[in-house]
Homo-oligomer: A and B are copies of this chain.
Amino acid sequence: VIREPVAPAADPALRDRYVAVRAQTAALAAPLSAEDCQIQSMPDASPTKWHLAHTTWFFETFVLSPHLPGYRDFEPRFRALFNSYYNSVGEQPLRAARGLVSRPGLDVVYAYRRHVDGAMTALLEGGRLAAGVARVVELGLQHEQQHQELILTDIKHALWAQPGRPQYAAPAPPRPPRDAVPRLAWQAYEAGIVAIGHDGAGFAFDNELPHHQALVPAAALASRLVTCGEYLDFVRDGGYERPALWLAAGWEAVRAAGWHAPLYWRRQDGEWFITTLHGDRALAPAEPVCHVSFYEADAYARWAGARLPTEFEWERAARDVAGDGNFLESGALHPRPLTGRDGPAGGPAQLFGDVWEWTASPYTGYPGYRPQAGALGEYNGKFMSDQWVLRGGSCATPRAHMRATYRNFFPAATRWQFSGVRLARDAGA
């Protein structure tokens, strides 16, 4: 997964990053009670307690157990209990039943974290670390950052699913009443051979490799994300009642699930409201729309006379843009309206952060793709079917976790992630 040896010697930076990432996870769980951390509102989502334990299990299983002499498991049963999907490691409890595991309790899971953190810091402070081990530590930190985002999206769903819709965090300060955003413009790109994928130093997942050439047609990308106000126009125009706007599988999903708006939207007395991690409030038209499925993103684009970008079109645009944006660290925990000064200077705005952008690209391996050897080869490769690539990260993604070559992926009907829409169109369209 990692192209270059990251840590040929004891690496204080790695140790510090370890401590910081682990602390960030605990901070995200801090507002939650033991009961909150226990619940699982659907098979796709996991309890917070499970996330806390599974990220710890990763370090125990792939770092401490094989690489720290004398390390003793905190509790041998956890080896199976907190395995997610690594068949090479052994059997796993049913994913949909994670919310039934009341034992160990949350306090024991925190003790498990402390136990592993103690051993990990000892390892990281203990002198020369083999490059291969450092790579797995780095992978473990990237893995934990992914679960930080899932902690937020999963608890958002679980709290929303309850009567009363309790909030995760205290209400955000009142939003300014501005409902306008800069006009959507089109940024044009020439056809040509484009370098795609990770190349160079730094961490990347194996699905960003090999670095390779692709012939990408001319196309234009929207200068910003689609807003809630624009999406509301689609809803009001009968978007959810017109099969001609939808992929066949999307239309089936609309009818089977009764979709009539994005997840977390609801209409009451003629007004639209949304649920955020800070509680319920009125829909803000200027905010980027989120919690839409691929099918909805695709249908919206068709309605708007456009299409979704391919992941290569997206990457071509993103590689020359500074990777900044509204990430987890902003504390907003929700996408934010584009302000005038965010406008297209040197490229489309909002490429990074705010919402994951659905692309028109099914998730497959790049030419010559090889999964990592061993159990960690199950990390990405086996999911390369029946999913779609999303790019750019969201307001729940740690900033340090994101880059222009990063490929996220979810099935087309997925809605509980912070997933939104950027439009594209063919050159000359």
Give the B-binding residues of A (Cβ under 8 A). Answer: 33-39, 41, 49, 77, 80-81, 85, 87-88, 93, 97, 99-103, 105-106, 158-159, 161-164, 166, 193, 212-215, 217, 243-244, 246-251, 294-295, 298, 360-362, 364, 367-368, 378, 382-386, 412, 426
Number of copies: 4
Given the interface contacts A80-B163, A101-B162, A103-B36, does A213 sit within 8 Å of B215 by beta carbon?
Answer: yes
Rounded to whole angstroms, the CA-CA distance of A244 and B87 in the bound complex is 7
Counting from the closest, the 9 A-B pairs by CB-CB distance are A362-B362, A35-B102, A87-B243, A215-B215, A34-B34, A217-B367, A248-B382, A103-B166, A36-B102
**B217 A38 Cβ-Cβ under 8 A:** no
Given the interface contacts A39-B99, A102-B33, A217-B368, does A163 sit within 8 Å of B247 by beta carbon?
Answer: no
Cβ-neighbour of A385 out of B35, B101, B247, B382 (below 8 A): B247
Contacts of A85 in B (CB 8 A): 248
Contacts of A38 in B (CB 8 A): 34-35, 38-39, 102
**A100 B34 Cβ-Cβ under 8 A:** no
**A77 B163 Cβ-Cβ under 8 A:** yes
**Closest residue to A384 on the B side, CB-wise?**
B247
**B100 A426 Cβ-Cβ under 8 A:** no
**A426 B382 Cβ-Cβ under 8 A:** no
**B383 A247 Cβ-Cβ under 8 A:** yes
**B77 A164 Cβ-Cβ under 8 A:** yes
Contacts of A35 in B (CB 8 A): 34-35, 37-38, 49, 102-103, 105-106
With A247-B385, A248-B385 given, can you name 12 additional A-B contacts, CB distance below 8 Å? A35-B38, A36-B102, A36-B103, A88-B244, A100-B161, A100-B162, A101-B163, A102-B158, A248-B383, A249-B383, A362-B362, A386-B386
**A426 B36 Cβ-Cβ under 8 A:** no
Taking the nearest CB of chain B, how far is it from the CB of A46, in angstroms?
A: 14
**Closest residue to A382 on the B side, CB-wise?**
B248
Contacts of A386 in B (CB 8 A): 249, 386, 412
Rounded to whole angstroms, the CA-CA distance of A173 and B295 in the bound complex is 50
Rounded to whole angstroms, the CA-CA distance of A367 and B308 in the bound complex is 12
**Closest residue to A161 on the B side, CB-wise?**
B100
Contacts of A193 in B (CB 8 A): 215
Most buried by B among A35, A37, A97, A386: A35
Most buried by B among A158, A163, A217, A378: A163
Contacts of A250 in B (CB 8 A): 385
Most buried by B among A80, A85, A362: A362
**Closest residue to A243 on the B side, CB-wise?**
B87
Taking the nearest CB of chain B, how far is it from the CB of A333, in angstroms?
A: 18
Rounded to whole angstroms, the CA-CA distance of A34 and B36 in the bound complex is 10
**Closest residue to A361 on the B side, CB-wise?**
B364
Taking the nearest CB of chain B, how far is it from the CB of A391, in angstroms?
A: 16
Contacts of A100 in B (CB 8 A): 39, 41, 158, 161-162
Rounded to whole angstroms, the CA-CA distance of A259 and B304 in the bound complex is 40
Rounded to whole angstroms, the CA-CA distance of A384 and B247 in the bound complex is 7
Taking the nearest CB of chain B, how far is it from the CB of A353, in angstroms?
A: 27
**B81 A163 Cβ-Cβ under 8 A:** yes
Rounded to whole angstroms, the CA-CA distance of A294 and B298 in the bound complex is 25
**B383 A103 Cβ-Cβ under 8 A:** no
